[in-house]
């Protein structure tokens, strides 16, 4: 089983640790705040956490050893700390280092010293909220590759009662329908072309961003 190290239990780190733990991953959370550690344990977000200043290289080395291939550095608000921790993790041989950053300058520095991925939670959330307003029928989406996104969308009114064959989305828009989620919660991951769509159904599709407005 893979082991994950989460450094920093602010809102972002807490969310990462909780999601990993809920999906049966082995997670060790680290934070220098006794209160945040206690809260995470009391809320049963994780079952293994220690109070530690991760900018202390020796202390971090004693924790990491050879146990972790992936670490999340969730102290982006403290730029100096995030840089030091990322550098130490790289030197300790952690293969996958995912860092939170507050701006792109910090992100570039983190990438140069060893971060394998940099995320900008506030920027991503702002973008997501704006797109939700612009496209209210899009429930969820994430980037699948450089050109494609996976979207979960409500059925447009003009789709109701039609079959997937009638819509012919693949030919018209180069869209792949990955699944149909029915109102009873059942997910059809191999939808037949003759599948008829109902008002309460949801579509999970793979599409380029530049065609999503045409589909909706």
Which structural domains are found in the chain, ordered by start? 3-120 (3.40.50.720), 135-214 (3.30.70.1450)
Q: Higher-confidence residue: 100 or 125?
A: 100
CA dist 54 and 81 (Å) reads: 8
Task: Supply the pLDDT for residue 1.
Answer: 52
CA dist 53 and 88 (Å) reads: 13
Question: Helix (H, G, I), strand (E, B), or coil: what is residue 152?
Answer: strand
Question: Helix (H, G, I), strand (E, B), or coil: what is residue 178?
Answer: strand
Asked whether residue 124 carries a pLDDT value surpassing 90, the answer given is no
Q: Higher-confidence residue: 177 or 142?
A: 177
CA dist 78 and 101 (Å) reads: 9
**Statement: the pTM of the whole predicted model exceeds 0.85:** no
Q: Write down the residue that tokens 């447009």 correspond to.
A: 156
Asked whether residue 20 carries a pLDDT value surpassing 80, the answer given is yes
Reading the block at residue 61, the tokens are 């080395």
For 33-53, what is each residue's pLDDT tens digit? 999 999 999 999 898 999 999
Q: What is the pLDDT confidence band of residue 111, given thresholds at 50, 70 and 90?
A: very high
Asked whether residue 202 carries a pLDDT value surpassing 90, the answer given is yes
For the chain, strand residue ranges (E) read: 3-7, 26-31, 49-51, 70-73, 96-100, 117-119, 138-143, 148-154, 176-181, 187-188, 202-208
Asked whether residue 203 carries a pLDDT value surpassing 90, the answer given is yes
């Amino acid at each position: 089983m893979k082991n994950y190290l989460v450094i920093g239990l602010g809102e972002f780190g807490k969310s990462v640790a909780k999601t990993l733990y809920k999906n049966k991953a082995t997670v060790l959370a680290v934070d220098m705040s006794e209160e945040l550690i206690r809260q995470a344990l009391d809320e049963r977000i994780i079952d293994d956490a220690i109070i530690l200043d991760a900018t202390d290289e020796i202390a971090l080395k004693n924790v990491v050893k050879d146990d972790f291939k992936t670490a999340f550095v969730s102290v982006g608000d403290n730029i100096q700390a995030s840089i030091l921790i990322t550098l130490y993790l790289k030197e300790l041989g952690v293969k996958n280092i995912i860092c939170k950053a507050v701006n792109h300058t910090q992100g570039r520095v983190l990438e140069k010293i060893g971060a394998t991925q940099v995320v900008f939670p506030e920027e991503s959330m702002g973008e997501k909220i704006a797109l939700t307003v612009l496209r209210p029928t899009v429930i969820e989406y994430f980037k699948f590759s450089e050109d494609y996104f996976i979207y979960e969308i409500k059925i447009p009114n003009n789709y109701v009662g039609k079959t997937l064959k009638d819509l012919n989305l693949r030919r018209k828009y180069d869209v792949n329908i990955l699944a149909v989620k029915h109102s009873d919660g059942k997910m059809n991951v191999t939808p037949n072309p003759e599948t008829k769509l109902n008002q309460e159904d949801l579509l999970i599709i793979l599409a380029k961003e530049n065609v999503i407005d045409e589909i909706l």
